[in-house]
Amino acid sequence: MPSEKPPSTVMNGPGIARYPNIFSALKVGGAICRNRVKYAACSVSNFNTRDGSITDREYARMEVIARTGAGMITNQGAYPDSEGAGKAYYRQLSIADDQYIPGFRKIADMLHRGGAIAIQQILHAGRYGGIDLDHCVQPSEVPQTLRHFRPPRQMSRDDIRRCVQDHCQASRRAMEAGFDGVEITAFMGYLLANFLSPFTNRRTDEYGGSLENRGRFMVELLDAIREAIGKDRLLIIRLNGEELMDERGGNSPPECIEFMKMAEQAGADCISIVVGWHESTRGALGRDVHDDQWLPLAENASRAVKIPVAFGPRFCDPVKAEQALARGAFGLWEVCRPFLADPELLHKVARDRLEEIRPCVGGLLCLSRMFRNLPYICAVNPRLGHEVEPEYELRPARMRKKVLVIGGGPGGLECAFIAAQRGHSVVLCEKSERLGGQLLPASREIGGGRIFVDLARYYETMLKKFNVEVRLGTEVTPQLCAQIAPDVSVVATGSEIEHFPIPGIHRNHVVIAHDILEEGAPCGDRVVVLGGERIGLVAAEYLASRGKQVTLIELGKRLGEDVIATFKWRHTAWVRELQIQALLNTRAKEVTEEGVVVEEEAGSERLVPADTVILAIPRKARQQLLTDLEFVCDELYAIGDAVKPRSMHNAIREGYLIGIRI
Amino acid at 466: F
Q: CB-based contacts of 479: which residues, under 8 Å, 6+ apart? A: none
d(CA 174, CA 200): 30
Backbone angles phi, psi at 186, to 5 degrees: -130, 45
Quick check: 180 and 169 in contact, CB under 8 A?
no
d(CA 1, CA 184): 19
List, as one string, the DSSP characters of 48-105: S-TTS---HHHHHHHHHHHTS--SEEEEEEEE--SS-TT--STT-EE-SSGGGHHHHH
Helices 295-304 and 253-265, packing angle to 10 deg: 40
Query: Cβ neighbours of residue 348 under 8 Å, at least 6 residues apart?
Result: 15, 342, 354, 356, 357
Is residue 92 a contact partner of residue 44, using CB atoms and an 8 Å limit? yes
Question: CA-based Rg of the chain, rounded to a whole angstrom?
Answer: 27
DSSP 151: P
Cα distance between residue 266 and residue 226, in whole Å: 9
> In angstroms, how far apart are the furthest CA atoms of the chain?
82
The β-bridge relationship of strands 136-138 and 425-430 is unpaired
Nearest-angstrom CA–CA distance, 103 and 94: 10
Residues 336/366, Cβ–Cβ less than 8 Å: no
Helices (H), 247-386: 253-265, 295-304, 318-326, 337-341, 345-350, 365-370
Could you check whether the bond before residue 618 is cis, i.e. omega within 30 degrees of 0? yes
The answer to whether residues 203 and 139 touch, using CB atoms and an 8 Å cutoff, is: yes
Return the closest-CA partner of residue 516 out of 615, 370, 428, 437: 615
Cα–Cα dist 653/648, whole Å: 9
The residues carrying an active-site annotation are: 190
Query: What span, in angstroms and rounded, lies between the C-alpha atoms of 360 and 343?
Result: 11
Q: For residues 72 and 25, what is the distance between their CA atoms, to the nearest angstrom? A: 11
490 pairs with which residues across the strands?
405, 637
